């Protein structure tokens, strides 16, 4: 688990990409992990069913914030339908390092919120699908 | 620091789990006793003995096994009563502190609290001594008030008498599970009584760590859990003054809590059995009795002094990290707290810190500690919390500091 705290993870934690808010919001969602209080909000700007721009905001641990930050880089230009189909493997591929079972919810919070924005209702936990 | 040479080594040797290395081959450094304590061999053996030697239901069978089970179960009640200076018939078995608080909120609260009455809590309450009173206030139209704390989590009692005006009930934590703050019950209880209020003390973090005598304190109710004081999970105690318990209606109802049952009407047993519907948690109650015997053998004065000295050492060692952004929350006076220290390291989230400490075999709690309103008031999203008990040593504190050093290195602090 200490392998997780690599330079690029800490870089995303301390300098999150696409952090903040959009002027035009076509889809949005937010949620928190009740176990630890981590919060993520995702805002999407769409163009003909494609993610034109994305912003996230929130607070929490390095795992939740860095994985959300990396996710925003992945989904720009992606079809909304494909965003809704993203699996936990996408996040695990981005973070590149094994996540312990006790921290899996932290890593999946951003994806859950993003998928919720894409489908317009609260999505399930990606690690439980 | 340790009063008797070799005593701490003997204590550690009584806890089998402390001799087991973690999956990474590290020594287990258990600093989460405020969540649940480890169990000594004698307590574990008591569970095995019950199931292997005299497993039977209580209060009904006429055969020898049932008689022994009943005797051991009721003897455990005697041990718990002695442990807190109560009468035996003032000890009600419950699952845990949460159930004890709910029992009082529903049974005593529904019968005694009315619209316009006030219920006084403190800003340090655990959710288990907050949410049941919120629901009672909603049911009755009563008003909730809070004894405030300052920025270091110390009680501010300046306005206590005004807060007590019109108060039916005071419900307060003996010791804060998040910051370790000890409530001066010798101040609060007499003034609450003078104002006509009944006092429930949430002793979940008090009874395990401080010598408690409910008669000397003059507490009306005192609630605590077995698993935080060397006992099993699933067993706890509601202490209530007999005259209060005697006037309260049942909470749960069914078998074992009755005097006479007809198809239409039932008369109920006297306390404590009036509040113990159904088959009790026999094995865990018996083992809980063994746990408090163990604590009495160690000596509660020793427990307090050991934890005070260890807390003083930990505060001093942790302070070495303050120039690098370590924030220590709560009172800094070891005499004012009970073996609990909450902290954060710079911009390292408490969960990340706890994960890194875990790789070194160090168990700490991270999060809101079931005190979300306090976290919000203080502006903390989460804290790491180290909590000590009789089996912890300065070596555990040193391991914690080495783990914090590792986290600082990984995060480039």
Asked whether B84 and B214 are in contact (CB, 8 A), the reply is yes
Q: Is A2 near chain B, with CB under 8 Å?
A: yes
Based on the domain organization, do B400 and B253 belong to the same domain? no
* Residue A2 banded pLDDT, cuts 50, 70, 90: low
Query: What is the Cα–Cα distance from B308 to B387, expressed in whole angstroms?
Result: 11
The tally of CA atoms less than 13 A away on the side-chain side of residue A32 is 10
- Give the ipTM: 0.89
> Does B39 fall in a domain?
no
Cβ proximity of B195 and B165 under 8 Å:
yes
Beta strands in B138-187 (DSSP E): 143-147, 167-173
What is the per-residue pLDDT for B4? 55
**Residue B2 in domain:** no
Are the C-beta atoms of residues B276 and B93 closer than 8 Å to each other?
A: yes
Domains and CATH numbers, chain A: 2-121 (3.90.1010.10)
B369, closest residue in chain A (CA to CA): A36
Residues 33-62 of A with CB under 8 A from B: 35-38, 59-62
Residue tagged active-site, from B167, B172, B363, B370? B370
Residues B374 and B269 in one domain: no
Same domain, B63 and B15: no
Instruction: For residue B86, tell me if it sits in a domain.
Output: yes
- Shortest CA gap A31–chain B (Å): 15
Q: Are residues B241 and B321 in the same domain?
A: no
Chain A contact present for B412, CB below 8 A: yes
Q: What pLDDT score was predicted for residue A125?
A: 87
pLDDT at B39: 98
Residue A100: per-residue pLDDT:
84
CATH number of the domain to which B340 belongs = 3.90.1150.10
Nearest partner of B317 among B213, B388, B241, judged by Cα? B388
Domain count across chain B: 2
Q: Are B119 and B96 in contact (CB under 8 A)?
A: no
Is-contact B385 B340, C-beta < 8 A?
yes
Min distance A2 CA to chain B CA atoms (Å): 6
Query: Does the CA dihedral B172-B174-B180-B184 come out positive or negative?
Result: positive
CB contact under 8 A, B352 and A61: yes
CA distance B78 to chain A (A): 38
Task: Kindly report, residue by residue over A59-96, the tens digit of the pLDDT.
Answer: 999 999 999 999 999 999 999 999 999 999 999 998 88
Q: pLDDT tens track of chain B, all 413 residues?
A: 444 568 999 999 999 999 999 999 999 999 999 999 999 999 999 999 999 999 999 988 889 999 999 999 999 999 999 999 999 999 999 999 999 999 999 999 999 999 999 999 999 999 999 999 999 999 999 999 999 999 999 999 999 999 999 999 999 999 999 999 999 999 999 999 999 999 999 999 999 999 999 999 999 999 999 999 999 999 999 999 999 999 999 999 988 888 999 999 999 999 999 999 999 999 999 999 999 999 999 999 999 999 999 999 999 999 999 999 999 999 999 999 999 999 999 999 999 999 999 999 999 999 889 999 999 999 998 999 999 999 999 999 999 999 999 999 999 99
Q: Is B382 on the interface with A (CB under 8 A)?
A: yes
> Measured between alpha carbons, how far is A95 from B186 in angstroms, rounded to an integer?
54
d(CA B311, CA B309): 5
Task: Using DSSP, state whether B239 is helix, strand or coil.
Answer: strand
Q: Is there a contact between B328 and B343 (Cβ–Cβ < 8 Å)?
A: yes
Three-class SS of residue B80?
helix
One domain, residues B269 and B370: no
CA distance B346 to chain A (A): 12
DSSP, collapsed to helix, strand or coil, labels residue B409 as: helix
3-state SS assignment for residue B231: coil
Q: Is B167 a catalytic residue?
A: no
Q: CB–CB of A45/A72 below 8 Å?
A: no
Q: Residue holding tokens 């009082």?
A: B104
Q: CB A36 to CB B412 under 8 A?
A: no
Q: Which of B352, B382, B412 to mutate to test the interface with A (most CBs of A within 10 A)?
A: B352
Q: B23 lies in which domain range?
A: 7-30+299-410
Place of tokens 């139209």: B141
> Do B228 and B342 fall within a single domain?
no
Are residue B290 and residue B312 in the same domain, yes or no?
Answer: no
**Domain identity same for B252 and B161:** yes
User: Where among B272, B297, B322 does a domain terminate?
Assistant: B297
Please state, in angstroms and rounded to a whole number, the distance separating the CA atoms of residues B288 and B91. Answer: 13
The residue out of B297, B317, B351 marking a domain boundary is: B297
Instruction: Let me know whether B345 and B196 are in one domain.
Output: no
Is A121 near chain B, with CB under 8 Å? no
Render the burial of A90-112: b for 16+ CB within 10 Å, e for the rest.
bbbebbeeebeeebbbbbbbbbb
Question: pLDDT value at position B1?
Answer: 44
The answer to whether residue B379 neighbours chain A at the CB level (below 8 Å) is no
Give dist(CA B10, CA B173) in Å, integer.
32
DSSP H/E element including A75: helix A62-75
Taking the C-alpha atoms of residue A87 and residue A127, their distance in angstroms, rounded to an integer, is 8
């Amino acid at each position: 688990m200490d392998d997780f705290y690599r330079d690029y993870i800490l870089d995303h934690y301390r300098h999150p990409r696409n952090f903040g808010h959009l002027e035009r919001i076509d889809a949005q969602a937010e949620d928190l992990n009740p176990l630890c209080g981590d919060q993520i909000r995702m805002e999407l700007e769409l163009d003909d069913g494609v993610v034109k721009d994305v912003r996230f905001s929130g607070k929490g641990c390095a795992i939740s914030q860095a994985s959300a930050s990396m996710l925003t880089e992945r989904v720009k230009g992606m079809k909304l339908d494909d965003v809704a189909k993203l699996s936990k493997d996408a996040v695990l591929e981005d973070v590149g390092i094994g996540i312990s079972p006790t921290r899996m919810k932290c890593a999946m919070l951003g994806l859950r919120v993003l998928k919720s924005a894409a489908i317009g209702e609260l999505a399930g936990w990606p690690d439980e699908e | 620091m340790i009063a008797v040479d070799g005593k701490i080594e003997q204590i550690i040797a009584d806890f089998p789990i402390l001799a087991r290395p973690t999956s990474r081959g590290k020594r287990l450094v258990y600093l989460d006793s405020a969540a649940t304590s480890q169990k000594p061999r004698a307590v574990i053996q008591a569970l095995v003995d019950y199931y292997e030697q005299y497993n039977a239901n209580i209060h009904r069978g006429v055969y020898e096994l049932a008689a022994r089970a009943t005797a051991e179960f009721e003897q455990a009640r005697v041990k718990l009563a002695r442990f807190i200076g109560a009468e035996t018939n003032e000890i009600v078995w419950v699952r845990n502190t949460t159930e004890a608080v709910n029992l009082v909120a529903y049974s005593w609260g529904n019968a005694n609290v009315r619209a316009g009455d006030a219920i006084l809590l403190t800003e340090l309450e655990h959710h288990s001594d907050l949410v049941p009173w919120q629901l009672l206030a909603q049911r009755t139209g009563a008003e909730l008030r809070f004894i405030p704390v300052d920025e270091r989590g110390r009680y501010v009692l300046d306005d206590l008498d005004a807060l007590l005006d019109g108060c039916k009930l005071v419900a307060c934590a003996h010791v804060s599970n998040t910051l370790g703050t000890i409530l001066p019950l010798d101040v609060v209880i007499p003034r609450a009584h003078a104002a006509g209020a009944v006092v429930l003390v949430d002793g979940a973090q008090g009874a395990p760590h401080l010598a408690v005598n409910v008669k000397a304190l003059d507490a009306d109710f005192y609630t605590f859990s077995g698993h935080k004081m060397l006992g099993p999970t699933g067993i706890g105690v509601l202490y209530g003054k007999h005259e209060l318990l005697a006037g309260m209606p049942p909470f749960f109802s069914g078998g074992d809590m009755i005097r006479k049952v007809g198809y239409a009407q039932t008369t109920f047993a006297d306390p404590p059995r009036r509040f113990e519907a159904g088959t009790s948690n026999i094995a865990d109650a018996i083992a809980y009795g063994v746990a408090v015997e163990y604590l009495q053998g160690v000596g509660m004065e020793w427990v307090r002094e050991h934890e005070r000295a260890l807390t003083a050492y930990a505060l001093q060692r942790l302070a070495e990290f303050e120039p690098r952004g370590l924030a220590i929350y709560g009172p800094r006076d070891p005499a004012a707290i009970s073996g609990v220290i909450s902290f954060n390291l710079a911009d390292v989230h408490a969960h990340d810190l706890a994960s890194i400490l875990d790789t070194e075999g160090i168990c700490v709690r991270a999060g809101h500690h079931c005190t979300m309103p306090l976290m919000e008031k203080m502006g903390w999203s989460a804290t790491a919390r180290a909590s000590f008990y009789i089996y912890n040593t300065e070596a555990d504190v040193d391991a914690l500091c080495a783990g914090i050093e590792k986290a600082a290195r990984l995060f480039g602090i």
